[in-house]
């Protein structure tokens, strides 16, 4: 191990001081007075560390940003991390005191194979570990009279130094930023390094005692390294070329150029030594393993991964974020692979801005909630719960390494990790697949977990079994979000209305259809234009038939019928008619008669034992309440005891649905469960009279009934609702008209 280092604090390091605009830039060479013992057991005397500082320490010394550099960089981050360090950049030296020290073994002034004890030079240079470097940096910190580091930041090998330092001095480092790095060198990354060393060793000049030895090998090593820094996507985007016998292709030229560029500024001995330094990285060595070592970190930590990084894949970052107590993981999308940590400075700066403004809560990743799905609804739930007492522990997703800027440290592709975690008491299911959602529901309920779902198709098709679950288990299955977005209609029906006094429910229950219809009437756009707008806003899926075809509204109507009337019916027995066939002629008819078209659900008790359930577009008079509901909003009117009770709210969108889910979470915290009063005597009524408008464009057979008006374009008829089952209406626009 590296022994306690002694320095001559009375001797100031050699310093070059100059002004870059108004920013003070110092370069120094710090020398330790006594020989040091390395982790490998070897000894180095007169160890020197080259370093740079930018800016000035503030009065309370609270503005220190310490940058740890990667493999072949120097101590001047303003040169190689432009966009992140520099004037007008995130870390501005006019505001911060920025420090960067050159690692031992490098070619930029610190002790190295070319500048060290005579018996340690060239290929005799000992293996310097990451931990050796950090212990030396600690002495430099003390020499610079820095007691606290506001932010310690590093990418790749710089991240190795930073995480090691945060473990070694947990009380010194306040914020830790780790980019494209790992807690330990993987076999994969080590293999890349060994391949580069083999290339250097294949150069016959390597091993000879002069600085330029091994240059050809170094060029080849750099070519190998580049393949790990980028990826096939990056090369295929930037170096695409057609083969020509008379010239060099772009990919060949690029590899040659980058190799020559490194050879001109670096030497093979330093490169060889630094790859071994990287190989030494293992925070768990002599500390009881990685998990125990990382648990010692006190700093508020941000781990940033690059989704296309093949050298330190996202999985490496997940390990860091999982075991560092107060850490968050963000995955940045980039085509540049590992080099993204140097190139994607705009995205990184945004991550940093969000990180510094977040509340520091040591328990922010702990909780008793598991979630399945992180799509539109899941994102809304995560956003609302970030500052809530309800905390998410684990989120099961399909694609774990999809680029995300949130929740990445909570993700798993193994559903088992959510369903079988004994600490998770409530599961939020937020996926579209109704079959898989039902399997999740069964498993959750059987294990005594509470469940919250917004999957109205799954709930409607399995409602009888769900009711049985809710009656026979202590856990609760709530699904407010499955009916009317943000409107708390189910608990209102449950708590405030006597079921036997409910006479009728009328409502607009699909925000997507309502948004489209609003645009058709208010913006004079076409149906296709309105649909595309709804899709762009996240109100409609890429395949919108569930919304515009009335299926979504039907599933909601089935759920409402059970809670409002005790009427249990399978959705396959209920007809639904949508707006997908609406035409300009239908809109013109409505406007000419001062009417508005809305997609309306009506559930009505027609007699003592019959309930009608209709899902139909409807021509509505301008003065009626439903015409005042525009865009993605929903309205429900409960007619109870000859009095109308009006409920309105957002019916589509991430936050609207998530609001209902979080309300269910709060209800579960109060041990709430639904109270069902199912009446098995009730039957579906389809024999009632109805007045319909039918567009005749594709009508092959007229329904029986009394024709009230007919033109070449449309038919208005008073008929029996059952007649719609007899004729083929799949291509016709059909609407109720009063």
Give CA–CA dist 665/491, Å, rounded.
Answer: 13
Give CA–CA dist 483/553, Å, rounded.
Answer: 8
Partners of 502 in the β-ladder:
640
* R_g over Cα of the chain: 34
Residue 156 a catalytic site member: yes
Which stretches within 209-344 are classed as H helix?
Answer: 215-229, 232-238, 250-263, 268-279, 290-294, 314-323, 340-343
Our measurement of the distance from residue 302's CA atom to the centroid of its chain's CA atoms, rounded to an integer in Å, reads 14
Q: Phi, psi (5° rounding) for residue 235?
A: -65, -40
Give CA–CA dist 262/280, Å, rounded.
Answer: 23
- Structure-block tokens of residue 304: 């940033």
Q: Phi, psi (5° rounding) for residue 696?
A: -90, 5
Task: Using CB atoms within 10 Å of the CB of residue 205, give its burial: 0 to 12 exposed, 13 to 18 middle, 19+ buried.
Answer: middle
Task: Using CB atoms within 10 Å of the CB of residue 101, give its burial: 0 to 12 exposed, 13 to 18 middle, 19+ buried.
Answer: buried
Query: Within the chain, how many helices (H) and strands (E) appear?
Result: 26, 27
DSSP 151-212: EEEEETHHHHHHHHHHHH-TTTEEEEEEES--SB--HHHHHHHHHHHHHHHTSTTTTSSSTT
- Active-site annotation holder among 69, 160, 338, 563: 338
User: In what helix (H) or strand (E) does residue 290 lie, and over which residues does it extend?
Assistant: helix 290-294
Nearest to 713 by CA among 583, 528, 521: 583
- Active-site annotation holder among 50, 52, 110, 156: 156
User: In what helix (H) or strand (E) does residue 596 lie, and over which residues does it extend?
Assistant: strand 595-605
Which stretches within 205-249 are classed as H helix?
Answer: 215-229, 232-238
- Active-site annotation holder among 132, 203, 309, 494: 309
Q: Phi, psi (5° rounding) for residue 276?
A: -70, -35
Partners of 645 in the β-ladder:
638
- Structure-block tokens of residue 723: 């007649």
Are 193 and 279 in contact by the 8 Å Cβ rule? The answer is yes
* β-pairing verdict for 23-31 and 14-20: antiparallel
Catalytic positions are 156, 309, 338
């Amino acid at each position: 191990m590296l022994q306690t280092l002694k320095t001559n604090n009375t001797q100031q390091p050699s310093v070059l001081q100059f002004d870059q605009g108004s920013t003070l830039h110092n370069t120094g060479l710090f020398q330790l007075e006594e020989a040091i013992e390395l982790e490998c057991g070897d000894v180095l005397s007169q160890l020197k560390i080259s370093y740079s500082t930018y800016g000035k320490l503030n009065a309370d010394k609270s503005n220190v940003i310490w940058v740890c550099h990667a493999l072949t960089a120097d101590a001047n981050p303003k040169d190689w991390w432009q966009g992140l360090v520099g004037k007008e950049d995130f870390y501005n030296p006019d505001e911060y005191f920025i420090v960067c020290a050159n690692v031992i073994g490098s070619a930029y002034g610190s002790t190295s194979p070319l500048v060290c004890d005579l018996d340690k030079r060239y290929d005799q240079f000992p293996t310097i570990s990451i931990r050796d470097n950090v212990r030396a940096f600690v002495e430099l910190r003390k020499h610079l009279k820095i007691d606290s580091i506001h932010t310690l930041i590093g990418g790749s090998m710089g991240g190795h130094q930073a995480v090691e330092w945060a473990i070694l001095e947990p009380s010194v480092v306040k914020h830790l930023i780790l980019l494209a790095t790992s807690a330990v060198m993987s076999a994969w990354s080590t293999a890349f390094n060994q391949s580069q060393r083999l290339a250097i060793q294949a150069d016959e000049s390597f091993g000879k005692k002069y600085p330029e030895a091994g240059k050809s090998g170094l060029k080849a090593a750099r070519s190998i390294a580049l393949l790990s820094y980028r990826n096939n996507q990056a090369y295929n985007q930037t170096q695409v070329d057609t083969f020509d016998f008379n010239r060099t292709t772009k990919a060949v030229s690029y590899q040659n150029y980058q190799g020559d560029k490194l050879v001109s500024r670096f030497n093979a001995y330093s490169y060889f030594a630094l790859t071994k330094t990287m190989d030494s990285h293992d925070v768990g060595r002599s500390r009881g393993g990685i998990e125990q070592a990382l648990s010692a970190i006190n700093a508020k930590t941000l781990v940033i991964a690059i989704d296309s990084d093949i050298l330190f894949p996202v999985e490496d970052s997940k390990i860091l974020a999982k075991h560092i107590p107060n850490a968050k993981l963000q995955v940045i999308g980039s085509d540049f692979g590992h080099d993204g940590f140097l190139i994607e400075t705009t995205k990184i700066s945004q991550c940093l801005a969000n990180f510094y403004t977040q509340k520091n809560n040591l328990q922010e990743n702990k909780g008793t909630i598991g979630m399945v799905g992180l799509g539109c609804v899941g994102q809304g739930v995560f956003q609302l719960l970030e500052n809530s007492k309800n905390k998410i522990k684990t989120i099961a997703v399909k694609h774990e390494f999809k680029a995300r800027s949130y929740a990445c440290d909570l993700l798993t592709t193994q559903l088992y990790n959510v369903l079988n975690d004994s600490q998770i008491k409530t599961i939020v299911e937020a996926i579209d697949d109704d079959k898989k959602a039902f399997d999740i529901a069964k498993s959750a309920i059987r294990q005594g977990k509470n469940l919250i779902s917004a999957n109205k198709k799954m709930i409607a098709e399995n409602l009888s079994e769900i009711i049985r679950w809710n009656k026979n288990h202590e856990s609760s299955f709530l699904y407010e979000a499955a009916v009317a977005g943000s409107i708390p209609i189910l608990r209102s029906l449950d708590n405030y209305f006597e079921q036997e006094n409910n006479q009728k429910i009328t409502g607009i229950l699909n925000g997507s259809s309502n948004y489209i219809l609003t645009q058709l009437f208010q913006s004079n756009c076409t149906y296709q234009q309105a649909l595309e707008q709804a899709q762009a806003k996240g109100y409609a899926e890429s395949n919108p038939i569930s919304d515009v075809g009335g299926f979504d509204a039907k599933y909601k109507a089935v759920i409402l019928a059970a809670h409002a009337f005790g009427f249990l019916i399978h959705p396959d027995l209920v007809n639904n008619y949508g707006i997908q066939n609406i035409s300009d002629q239908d809109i013109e008819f409505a406007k000419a008669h001062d009417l508005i078209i809305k997609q309306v659900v009506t559930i009505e008790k027609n007699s003592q034992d019959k309930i009608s359930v209709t899902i139909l577009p409807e021509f509505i008079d301008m003065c009626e309440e439903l015409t005042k509901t525009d865009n993605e909003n929903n309205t429900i009117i409960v007619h109870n005891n000859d009095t109308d009770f009006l409920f309105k709210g957002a019916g589509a969108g991430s936050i609207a649905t998530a609001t209902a889910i979080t309300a269910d979470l709060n209800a579960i915290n109060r041990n709430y469960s639904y109270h069902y009063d199912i009446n098995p005597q009730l039957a579906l009524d389809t024999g009632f009279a109805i007045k319909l408008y039918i567009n005749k464009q594709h009508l092959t057979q007229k329904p029986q009934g009394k024709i009230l008006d007919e033109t070449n374009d449309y038919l208005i008829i008073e008929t029996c609702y059952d007649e719609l089952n007899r004729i083929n209406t799949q291509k016709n626009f059909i609407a109720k008209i009063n």
